[in-house]
A and B are shown apart, each in its own frame.
Chain A
Amino acid sequence: MVLPAEIRSFLSEAGELSRFTGRFFSQAFRPRYELYEFTRQCYLIGYSSLPLIGLTSFIMGLVLTMQLRPSMVDYGVESELPSIVGIAIVREIGPVISALIFAGKIGSSIGAELGSMKVTEQIDAMEVSGTNPFKYLVVTRVFAATLMLPVLIILGDTISLYGSFLGVNIRGTTSSHLFWTQVIDSLAFSDVLPAFIKTYFFGFAVGIIGCYKGYNSSKGTEGVGRSANSAVVVASVMVFVIDLLAVQITDLLGLN
């Protein structure tokens, strides 16, 4: 049977990416550990995306609340607004929107940075300078992305809920105490935990795909642009795929 070219290239790409991921795991837990570079990347990756994620989260919380209010009023459950918004943000919208913004910002910058290092032979230069470039560049960035995205998402969710609090108070008044009590009461541990765990996978996916695309960049500046672009596209799709898998798995485990 002959597969169409698109399917074949998709499969070979998936195979290459798996091989790259395998290489990551085989190198990540063996010395030498690039701790300094890892902390630097955590700072760069976390700090540089915080304003953007904060802003988008705030707007999303605010808008979501304002959009939901009319229907809630119609059904006469306006007082449940904080609970509904809380569940929506913490379980689904907060993590996914932040992960998409993160894929756009960090996935593309990793892809472009490693891509241009590749085509200008900087990666080769590192290798001859007694450095394993895979450990120095890839392992540090993937770990940094994996650890920083959950932190960013927790901050983003919180900011989002503040946005929602503002939205609730645009019409009608709810005290801050009442708002937060309602939000927290509506969230069970089984809502928060799966939502939190999947954020690590989002972060890992963005990091590894950005690095894979950059590290395998083809020659020339056009290749670098293409790496950055496809890093964002593939990472964004992966975020949704992981989200889908996560909801199935939590279902199977009876956590819903």
Chain B
Amino acid sequence: MPEEATIVQSDQLISADAANAVSILHLYKSFGNNHVLIDFNLAIKKGESVVVLGKSGSGKSVLIKCIIGLLKPDKGTIAVFGKNVSEIKEEELDKLRAKVGFLFQSNALYDSMTVRENLEFPLRRHWIKVSQAEVNKMVLEALDDVGLAHTVDMMPVELSGGMRKRIALARTLILKPEIILYDEPTTGLDPITGKEIIDLMNDIQEKYNTTSLIISHDMNCVRMTSDRVVILVEGKCYANDTWDRLQQNKDPKVKQFFE
């Protein structure tokens, strides 16, 4: 067992409280016989930045896809701003999703569209009434934030992996979401670009007081972005504490992440 302070007690953590940006209660998700999430619990307060650590294949991506409603949980509830994601109607879910940014692990840039069209897509789809001038301004602003304003008319195939990641981040941020879910934001980037992305994430967090859920293997990123770290082991929220305290932890399952 992890030490006292990090033991997770689901009841004390959760109430589907509107003060929490995200509350996950008794979440189960399996694919056939592959039981990925087993009674997972987590609450994220507004303005908080939580990092999820876990081995490859432990279900981190599955977890955040459940939060945004791309995957349906088998059991359990996920409330985002107090609304149960798996039960609300399509229109309401779309409204909720406009407030939640999602950075895909694979970037998921639309490869038949230019960078500009990629960034315009969520704007146009979520806010139908917005003038072209305004759209252009927001696109350039978002690209400026990631330092790639010159790529505006390029196709995704013409960009390097790291540039694609940054464009994907710009597309995630363009709607000024209140919650941002990052799936491995710095993987595949050189340390310098990685550092820039981390700084950008922290800037946004400060400027707009966003809530973030970050999945990462990059210990630098975890250390610099997290208010709290959650360790996902065998489908459960195994440990839940600040970076500093977890680092001191003697539990072998916790320790392996910090070596």
Q: Are A128 and B121 in contact (CB under 8 A)?
A: no
Q: A130 to chain B: which residues have CB within 8 Å? A: 94, 97-98, 122, 125-126
Q: Are A121 and B108 in contact (CB under 8 A)?
A: yes
In A106-128, which residues have CB < 8 Å from any B CB? 113, 116-117, 120-122, 124-128
Q: Are B106 and A128 in contact (CB under 8 A)?
A: no
> In the complex, A142→B163 CA distance in Å?
35
> In the complex, A116→B110 CA distance in Å?
10
Task: State which size class the interface on B falls in.
Answer: 20 to 34
Contact of B68 among A126, A128, A131, A132 (CB under 8 A): A128
By DSSP majority rule, is chain A's interface helix, strand, loop, or mixed? helix
Q: Are B104 and A129 in contact (CB under 8 A)?
A: no
Question: Which chain A residue has the least Cβ–Cβ distance from B183?
Answer: A121
Using an 8 Å CB-CB cutoff, how does the interface string of A79-115 with B read, 1 for contact, 0 for none?
Answer: 0000000000000000000000000000000000100
In A213-243, which residues have CB < 8 Å from any B CB? none
Question: Which chain B residue has the least Cβ–Cβ distance from A121?
Answer: B108
B63 to chain A, nearest CB (A): 15
In B124-170, which residues have CB < 8 Å from any A CB? 125-126
> In the complex, A129→B103 CA distance in Å?
12
Contact of B112 among A113, A131, A132 (CB under 8 A): A113
Q: Flag whether B111 is at the interface (Cβ < 8 A).
A: yes
B159 to chain A, nearest CB (A): 14
Question: Which chain B residue has the least Cβ–Cβ distance from A119?
Answer: B106
Q: Flag whether B70 is at the interface (Cβ < 8 A).
A: yes
Q: Are A129 and B106 in contact (CB under 8 A)?
A: no
Q: A124 to chain B: which residues have CB within 8 Å? A: 65, 70, 104, 108
In B14-52, which residues have CB < 8 Å from any A CB? none
Q: Are B70 and A120 in contact (CB under 8 A)?
A: no
Q: Are A127 and B70 in contact (CB under 8 A)?
A: yes
Q: Are B112 and A125 in contact (CB under 8 A)?
A: no
Q: Are B126 and A129 in contact (CB under 8 A)?
A: yes
A interface residues, how many (CB within 8 angstroms): 15
Q: B97 to chain A: which residues have CB within 8 Å? A: 128-130
A237 to chain B, nearest CB (A): 29
A145 to chain B, nearest CB (A): 18
Contact of B70 among A113, A128, A131 (CB under 8 A): A128
A125 to chain B, nearest CB (A): 4
Q: Are B125 and A131 in contact (CB under 8 A)?
A: yes
Question: Which chain A residue has the least Cβ–Cβ distance from B123?
Answer: A129
Q: Flag whether B90 is at the interface (Cβ < 8 A).
A: yes
A108 to chain B, nearest CB (A): 16
Q: Are B108 and A120 in contact (CB under 8 A)?
A: yes
> In the complex, A217→B99 CA distance in Å?
30
Q: Are A122 and B110 in contact (CB under 8 A)?
A: yes
> In the complex, A234→B108 CA distance in Å?
29
Q: A121 to chain B: which residues have CB within 8 Å? A: 104-106, 108
Q: Are A128 and B112 in contact (CB under 8 A)?
A: no
Q: Are B70 and A122 in contact (CB under 8 A)?
A: no
Q: A113 to chain B: which residues have CB within 8 Å? A: 112
Q: B70 to chain A: which residues have CB within 8 Å? A: 124, 127-128
> In the complex, A212→B98 CA distance in Å?
28
> In the complex, A127→B102 CA distance in Å?
11
> In the complex, A130→B65 CA distance in Å?
15
Question: Which chain B residue has the least Cβ–Cβ distance from A125?
Answer: B108
> In the complex, A86→B32 CA distance in Å?
57
> In the complex, A125→B94 CA distance in Å?
13
> In the complex, A205→B94 CA distance in Å?
31
> In the complex, A52→B143 CA distance in Å?
41
Q: Are B121 and A129 in contact (CB under 8 A)?
A: yes
> In the complex, A27→B7 CA distance in Å?
47
> In the complex, A129→B99 CA distance in Å?
10
Looking at B100, B102, B108, B109, the one whose CB has the most chain A CB atoms below 10 A away is B108
Using an 8 Å CB-CB cutoff, how does the interface string of A122-149 with B read, 1 for contact, 0 for none?
Answer: 1011111111100000000000000000
> In the complex, A129→B98 CA distance in Å?
7
> In the complex, A132→B125 CA distance in Å?
10
B19 to chain A, nearest CB (A): 24
Question: Which chain A residue has the least Cβ–Cβ distance from B90?
Answer: A132
Q: A128 to chain B: which residues have CB within 8 Å? A: 68, 70, 97, 100, 102
A64 to chain B, nearest CB (A): 39
Using an 8 Å CB-CB cutoff, how does the interface string of B67-108 with A read, 1 for contact, 0 for none?
Answer: 010100000000000000000001000100110101011101
Q: A121-B106, A124-B70, A126-B121 are in contact. List 12 more A-B contacts (CB 8 A).
A: A113-B112, A120-B111, A121-B105, A121-B108, A125-B104, A125-B108, A125-B110, A128-B70, A128-B102, A129-B97, A130-B125, A131-B121
16 contacts across the A-B interface (CB closer than 8 A) = A120-B111, A121-B104, A122-B110, A124-B65, A124-B70, A124-B104, A125-B102, A125-B109, A125-B110, A128-B68, A128-B100, A129-B97, A129-B121, A130-B97, A130-B125, A131-B125
